[in-house]
Amino acid sequence: MAGIDWSERGLCETADPDALFVEGAAQKRAKALCGGCRVRTECLARALDERIEYGVWGGMTERERRALLRRRPTVTSWRRLLETARAAHGRTREATSSTRDIS
């Protein structure tokens, strides 16, 4: 997550910012924009680490982020946790595809 400013690579970079700070059913459209974004993890980590209260960040609404923060009150760095999870997921996916190649 270090290096180039990840926020400039987000799918929302060209979207209307007001579209990400909506309420109710409009949040589904905002979350859909995040679905294919390559910096979704970085975005979510920032929102969680900085306790950003409003808007859709990393595919989660403010209500979803608050619930996650309540469930995991001991997490001190969401960035580190999400980086670790992403790396582990990548290793698992590589191992699975390697096993399929052998079969």
Paired residues of 60 in beta bridges: 57
Of 91, 19, 97, 31, the closest CA to residue 64 belongs to 31
What is the rounded average pLDDT for all residues in the chain? 85
Instruction: Name the residue among 64, 47, 50 with its Cα closest to residue 12.
Output: 47
User: How high is the pLDDT of residue 99?
Assistant: 44
- Residues of the chain with pLDDT below 70 are 1-4, 91-103
Q: Write down the pTM of the prediction.
A: 0.78
DSSP state at residue 28: H
61 Cβ partners below 8 Å, 6+ apart? Answer: 27, 31
Output the six-digit token pair for 91: 């290793």
pLDDT for 21 equals 92
